[in-house]
Structure 1
Amino acid sequence: MSATGLRVHATGAQCLVEDLGRQGLTSIGVGRSGAADRGSLRRANRALANEEGDAALEVTLGGLVVEPVGGPVWLCVTGAPCPVTVDGRDVGADTVFSAPAGAVVRLGTPERGLRSYLAVRGGVAVEPVLGSRSHDVMAALGPDQVAEGDLLPVGRPGDSQPTVDSVLPLALPALDEPLVLRAVRGPRDGWLAEADRLVSTSWAASERSNRVGMRLQASSAEAGGGEAPVLRHADEAPPLPSEGAWRGAVQVPPDGEPVLLLADHPVTGGYPVVAVVVDIDVDLAAQARPGQLVRFRWTSPR
């Protein structure tokens, strides 16, 4: 019998292999990368009795179609809730389900959120690069972007067996409601003339956002038909040399429109960091669709 795998028939807007990323390599200029929504990846893997960092497929706005080959597989879809069918039969997101060889597994467009995760028992076993199976879009590092016609190998499952048939769905606001992100004050908020403007302004996720970072623009309601409010650099602030960058940092470039760094951020940056979003909320930020409203709320470090 041939080895078990997933044949890809369609990918949707973007489909990437992602795990929890490359750790401990920033000293040589290699970022961590990994799943944009780490919590959703972990939930799917735990449901399938995988290692929590096993690789899965990160699917943007649905559209993925795969077919098990070589034998049946157990699957689970988490993250942005989307319709999931096996040969046209609805199985739903956030559930553990089986698909026989030759079946057509299809992910539809999520009702809210941006990125869904299709995990398979045994993990997606493409060849790792520098210790990870994650695709880093900024560094063009890791396995290639998943393409139609690919046959993705599935790893050998461990001895543990799945003990649940569903997981808690990701709590996401409706698309017409703001996504609220908790943040602590950043180490360079003094480089901004009015750092508190970050939390007093309603922002909108820009269409230029990607896995590197979510770019934010003041919402049209904030602009009021005039000049949109921005975070202006303080006149007396000295030049800021490049320093280490990290996931969740909110940088403010000279145009005054903040950028929230996500999974594939650079390892260094020279723009002042006005805030740092708490780690669990960065997963939520990775689910913001272009145009969705985003609000920040100050919280205390723990």
Structure 2
Amino acid sequence: MITVLATGPQTTVQDVRGRPGRADLGVGVSGAADRRALALANRLVGNHGDAAGLEITLGGFAGSFPTTCVVALTGAPAPATIDGRAADLHRPVVVPAGAELRLGTPPTGLRTYLAVRGGIAVAPVLGSRATDVVAGLGPAVVAEGDELPVGSPPTHPVPAVDLAPPPRADGTLRVVLGPRADWFADPGLLLRHPWTVTDDLNRVGFRLDGPELARAEAFAGVELPSEGVIRGSVQVPPSGRPTVFLADHPITGGYPVIAVVVDADTDAAGQLRPGEQVRFRRAAEPLPGARPNRGT
């Protein structure tokens, strides 16, 4: 059991997989905004891949552990203490019985993930323990005073890991243009210009500030019937400033999607915070400085 003493701006229960394959029923996938960070935290404590953990936005979480637990913190590097003593991230850490774990505000990134050996054992809804803040599926957003159940620990030992290196991110997101790139006079502007993350940001997605992505003359004033959207969709409302969808995105949208962020990069997108710059590049383009593969 974890007794929640503070939640910070927002803490939710999440798992990696979410609820895939139910869009025809109006159910979004949801799950962790940074799946690779939660997956790493689970690996560090020896959990099964479907174990649920806590997604903590901009730190500020505090919890009391009545029994001894093994935990791991990954994602945004929020400074952590256990009963006032500094605790490491990206490695298994023992929280003694009766101790308090507290997180400060991370200097970079947005979301920190807390995995506890045995997982957060709330009841699954439609096969997942993830909180979908838009649809209201899954457990409620974590609140001060909540008591979160912890499942039985796995029978295998805790992995012998000194420190797992965090993934690097440089603010570049790979995209595939389309399906509605032809609705815009200059879709390449999305790739050529840097964009700034605004403070209009949550688990649904985030808005970007930059030049206007103007409609092509043929589509000026044209309304698009609602069509399916996926995680990573870059949708452009009438303002011409794009919105990037994240984990709790709607399953349909009525604004044209100029591009889609490749799935592997949506985890990095989930760590972007207001004021940061973003650049998009075509998924087929090599990374800067990469050597071409000339074969053998």
What TM-score do you get using the length of structure 1 for normalisation? 0.90
> Which of these residues, 15, 22, 31, is aligned with residue 19 of structure 1?
15
Q: What is the distance in 2 between the residues matched to 1:242 and 1:300?
A: 29
Q: 2:175 aligns with which of 183, 186, 198?
A: 183
Matches of 1:63 and 1:142, distance apart in 2: 23
AA matched with 1:217: D
How big is each residue's C-alpha offset from its partner over 1:93-143, in whole Å with a ceiling of 9 and x where there is no partner?
111110111101111111200000000000001122222111111112211
Match of 2:145 among 149, 162, 169: 149
Shift of 1:286: 0.8
After TM superposition, which residue ranges in structure 1, 4 or more long, deviate above 3 angstroms? none
Q: Deviations over 1:33-92 (max 9, x none)?
A: 0000000010011111111221100001111111112x2100000001121111111121
Q: Which residue pairs with 2:209 in the alignment? A: 217
Q: Provide the identity percentage.
A: 51
1:109 corresponds to 2:105 = yes
Gap runs ≥5 in structure 1: 174-178, 219-228
How far apart, CA to CA, are the structure 2 residues paired with 1:164 and 1:43? 14
Secondary structure in structure 1 of the residue aligned to 2:182:
helix
Deviation at 1:239, TM superposition (A): 4.1
Which secondary structure state, in structure 2, belongs to the residue aligned with residue 263 of structure 1? Answer: coil
1:201 aligns with 2:193: yes
Distance 2:187 2:134 in 1: 28
Q: Residue 46 of structure 1: which of 43, 48, 56 is its match? A: 43
Instruction: Give the structure 2 partner of residue 255 of structure 1.
Output: 239
- State the Cα deviation string for residues 225-275 of structure 1 (Å, max 9, x = none): xxxx21112120364321111001111111101011100000111211111
Among 34, 43, 46, which residue is 2:31 paired with? 34
One-letter amino acid of the counterpart of residue 196, structure 1? G
Deviation at 1:30, TM superposition (A): 0.5
More displaced 10-residue stretch of structure 1: 32-41 or 160-169 = 160-169
Is residue 285 from structure 1 mapped to residue 239 from structure 2 by the alignment? no
CA contact (8 A) 1:41 1:52 kept: no
The superposition leaves residues 176-210 of structure 1 with CA deviations (integer Å, 9 ceiling, x where unpaired) of: xxx11111112110011110110111111111111
Please tell me whether the aligned partners of residues 12 and 64 of structure 1 are also in contact (alpha carbons under 8 angstroms): yes
Q: Residue 115 of structure 2: which of 90, 115, 119 is its match?
A: 119
Per the TM alignment, residue 23 of structure 1 is displaced from its structure 2 partner at its CA by 1.7
Match of 2:62 among 61, 65, 68: 65
Matched, 1:92 2:88: yes
Query: Unaligned stretches of 5+ in structure 2?
Result: 286-296
The CA distance in 1 between the partners of 2:168 and 2:49, in whole Å, is 20
CA distance in structure 1 between the partners assigned to 2:146 and 2:134 by the alignment: 22
Q: Distance in 2 between matches of 1:100 and 1:42?
A: 24
- Counterpart in 1 of 2:168? 171
Q: Secondary structure at the match of 2:199?
A: coil
State TM-score, norm by structure 2. Answer: 0.92
Counterpart for residue 235 of structure 1: 217
CA distance in 1, matches of 2:21, 2:262: 21
1:279 is displaced (CA, Å) by 1.4
